[in-house]
Amino acid sequence: MADKRGGTAVEPEAVGPEAEEPEAAEATPGAVEEAGPGEPAGAGESREPGADAPAAAARRRTLPRAAFALLVAAVLAFAGFAATTYADAAGDDDLAFARDRDRVLAAGREHIARVNSIDAKNADAGFAGWLDATTGPLHDDLKRQRDTGAAALKRSGKVARATVTEAAVIDLDTRAGTAKVIASVRIELSGGTDAPATDRKRFEAALEDTGDGWKLRSLTAITVEEAS
């Protein structure tokens, strides 16, 4: 029988004329001595040279297959571990991003409502709240207008209370620390010489992660057509 290794068939060489098999001797009582204490059964039997060769060859052929099977099992186990680790990492990243988005949305809603609310009786505190909710160019503009704006509000006697009715994060870059939020706002106006009224507006806000939380960098009123 051909033994294939490395893809090449190797035929065993002929070993000359086959030797005639000796006639089997009749088994007689006592021909096979019982094994003594500590000796394996059949220790007294005589064996022809090379009788174990086929079994040894079978073991030699079996070992590489077993090793290959173990290698495949190890590779599959590692692949499964790597896939699970990657899935866990991806899941962790998604979870972290979702948390950042929720923080941005909460900050956007709070700050947009704040900078659209004011009470003439507490104009100074109102401007302080606006400054605390903003950063960058918007913060600088409000800071420049603080004194004159607060004085004008006190004279007007007006009150504005804003409520964010809807909001969504439309852009978020956690590495750059920037985000955009759109919001629908209902503003209830009262006080002064005008009759109470309700105004509805939509805004697009740019936010920045300042290290002290997300704050408004800009706030732009938009029309429904621009928002869609």
d(CA 101, CA 107): 10
Mean pLDDT comparison of 66-80, 90-104, 130-144, 211-225, highest-scoring range: 130-144
Say if 193 falls within a structural domain: yes
Say if 191 falls within a structural domain: yes
Q: What is the largest CA-CA distance in the chain?
A: 134
Q: What CATH number has the domain bearing residue 168?
A: 3.10.450.230
Say if 13 falls within a structural domain: no
Query: For residue 120, what pLDDT band results from cuts at 50, 70 and 90?
Result: very high
Q: Express each pLDDT in 93-118 by its tens digit.
A: 889 999 999 999 999 999 999 999 99
Quote the pTM value: 0.60
Q: Which residues are CB-contacts of 12 (< 8 A; sequence separation ≥ 6)?
A: 3
Q: Express each pLDDT in 123-176 by its tens digit.
A: 999 999 999 999 999 999 999 999 999 899 899 999 999 999 999 999 999 999
Q: Is 134:107 a contact under the CB 8 Å cutoff?
A: no
In the prediction, which pLDDT does 57 show? 53
Say if 10 falls within a structural domain: no
Q: Is 166:109 a contact under the CB 8 Å cutoff?
A: no
In the prediction, which pLDDT does 3 show? 44
Provide the β-strand partners of residue 219. 205
Question: Domain count of the chain?
Answer: 1
Domain that holds residue 117: 92-227
Say if 40 falls within a structural domain: no
Virtual CA dihedral for 74, 78, 80, 84, nearest 10 degrees? 160
Say if 58 falls within a structural domain: no
Long-range pairs of 21-27 with CB within 8 A, sequence gap ≥ 24: none
Say if 26 falls within a structural domain: no
Mean pLDDT of the chain: 77
Say if 3 falls within a structural domain: no
Q: Which residues are CB-contacts of 177 (< 8 A; sequence separation ≥ 6)?
A: 208, 209
Mean pLDDT over 58-79 rounds to 62
Tell me the Cα Rg of the chain: 44
